[in-house]
A and B are shown apart, each in its own frame.
Chain A
Amino acid sequence: MNLPHYLRALRGISTRELLRFVHQRERFISALVRPLVWLFIFAAGFRSTLGLSPTPPYETYILYEEYITPGLIGMIQLFNGMQSSLSMVYDREMGNMRTLLISPLPRWFLLVAKLLAGTLVSILQVYAFLLVAWLYDVRTPLEGYLGVLPALLLSGLMLGALGLLLSSFIEQLENFAGVMNFVIFPMFFLSTALYPLWKLQESSQLLHTLAQFNPFSQAVELIRFALYGQFNIYASIYTLSALTLFLSAAVIGYNPSKGMMQKKGGK
């Protein structure tokens, strides 16, 4: 197994993921509509009720729409990460996953390639969302559109790795409803996506602490700062650490000698 083989496999996995995304138009539309509903309706409604004082990276008072945009980008990636985990459970049930797992490449590489491909799809979704937001006059500095790319890569990988880890535990598709209830909603609402930490602290110290340690909050902050051309070191290290943790656990979960695959394959 040599470098061209790895690159070709990465090309194959990414192309498949992108083509599947293009073919599933409903998935693309719903991925785009979901954050736009929040932006057009929810944010517009809350604009007048939620006063936000300037906190970094913002230098002046901003509209709520502007505050919520990084959170909605995070939401796109969170949903995409979970959706690719759903597709992995589906693939495993339907057997497609087997063709991937019996390829003559190390399993960790196959999982990382799958993760990269899923992140690529989420980045496309994010840019489509940013374009619509721009047309709606929710704009960030021009350099932010490019500066956010590495942040999106890191946050997308982290959230995708979480999905991957979950998919190694989930045995059936039906359990995805549980993922919605117990992972997506708490992660989203207990974060800085919709309100800043200090606002949450005013209501509950416990919720503030939980939101602070929620890796999704750090991913959102990483995106928020990057959109304004700033680099948030703490959020980057936190997100990177979470990625390392989730990915390592997922690789163990998919290892035939250890983790869930072994439990499924006899004791």
Chain B
Amino acid sequence: MNLSIAPALSVQNVSLAYGEKLALDKVSFTVFSGDCLILLGPNGAGKSSLFSLITRLYDTREGSIDIAGLNLKRNSSKALARLGVVFQQSTLDMDLNVERNLLYHSDLHGLSRKLAKLRIQEELERQAMFDRRHERVRQLNGGHRRRVEIARALLHKPNLLLLDEPTVGLDMPSRKAIVEYVHQLSAEQNIAVLWATHLVDEIFKTDQLIVLHKGTIRFQGSVQQLLAKTATPTVADAFQHLTREGK
């Protein structure tokens, strides 16, 4: 496969079961560079399971996942090098300062110290956090911690950025800032974004959507297509309509 034109993420017929319970049932979709794909689903829809498979915390037993044309099972290290992740729970070291946390990540990705410092400055400055690089993470508020985590996920210049409900528990201004920043990233830097959420107000009109419910994809397409298909005036109504079925 030509890696330069390969989708940033390709998920094909992926299923996952916990014992008898099917968490994901033949899920397939692709995300291309510059796309911001919103994975919308209520709690327990299978979003976190899907993220665990894409980040290879769990092995894909049924179906296949490719990141930037690299198969996650056969080429896991190379595939993971193309991936940046912001998990639902904060994964920063509270007792270390911002810069130390970012250097740790740079080391894990094999960046030289010089390049790491350069990238850290670049990413933190973009989010107005550079002056706070020597502060302990514990001293930062929730919104600022999230900014650091997004900066961290971008240090190794990934093709695909995964965000698992990154705004949960944040106040409105912080949420708005993060939503806008990530959309800007995908538009201006051509990064593919996969954003899992259950908050419909985080969706832009230009976004692509996937509605996941009980492990299956109920809808896949643009915001306009969603409204047309469900004959509803808002995304919130459409979401409710789609996730009510089959209950």
B105 contacts the other chain (CB 8 A):
yes
In the complex with contacts A19-B96, A19-B100, A261-B57, A98-B18 CB distance below 8 A: no
Query: Is A210 on the interface with B (CB-CB < 8 A)?
Result: no
Is B85 in the interface zone, CB < 8 Å from A? Answer: yes
Q: Is the CB–CB distance between B23 and A266 below 8 Å?
A: yes
The tally of residues in B whose CB lies under 8 Å from a CB in A reads: 41
Establish whether residues A4 and B110, one from each chain, have CB atoms under 8 Å apart when the complex forms: yes
Q: In the complex, are the beta carbons of B57 and A256 less than 8 A apart?
A: yes
Q: Would you call the interface of chain A mostly helix, strand, loop, or mixed?
A: helix
Contact A267 B18 (CB under 8 A): yes
Find chain B residues with CB under 8 A from A181 CB. none
In the complex, what residue of chain A is closest to B58 when comparing beta carbons? Answer: A265
Give bound CA distance, A104 to B75, whole Å.
10
- Name the contact of B80 in the complex, choosing from A19, A104, A257, A267 (C-beta under 8 A): A104
**Interface presence of A12 (CB below 8 A):** yes
Bound-complex Cα distance A262 to B52 (A)? 11
Q: How large is the interface on A (under 10, 10 to 19, 20 to 34, 35 or more residues)?
A: 35 or more
Q: Is A106 in the interface zone, CB < 8 Å from B?
A: yes
Closest to B79 in A: A104
B56 to A, closest residue via Cβ: A256
Chosen A-B contacts, 22 in total, with CB atoms closer than 8 Å, are A1-B110, A5-B109, A6-B110, A8-B106, A11-B107, A12-B107, A12-B108, A19-B96, A20-B93, A94-B89, A95-B87, A96-B93, A99-B91, A103-B80, A104-B109, A262-B58, A264-B58, A265-B16, A266-B19, A266-B49, A266-B61, A267-B19
Other A-B pairs beyond A98-B91, A261-B57, A265-B59, 20, CB < 8 Å = A5-B109, A13-B104, A13-B107, A13-B108, A16-B104, A19-B95, A19-B96, A20-B93, A96-B92, A98-B87, A100-B108, A101-B57, A102-B85, A104-B77, A104-B109, A104-B110, A105-B108, A256-B58, A266-B18, A266-B58
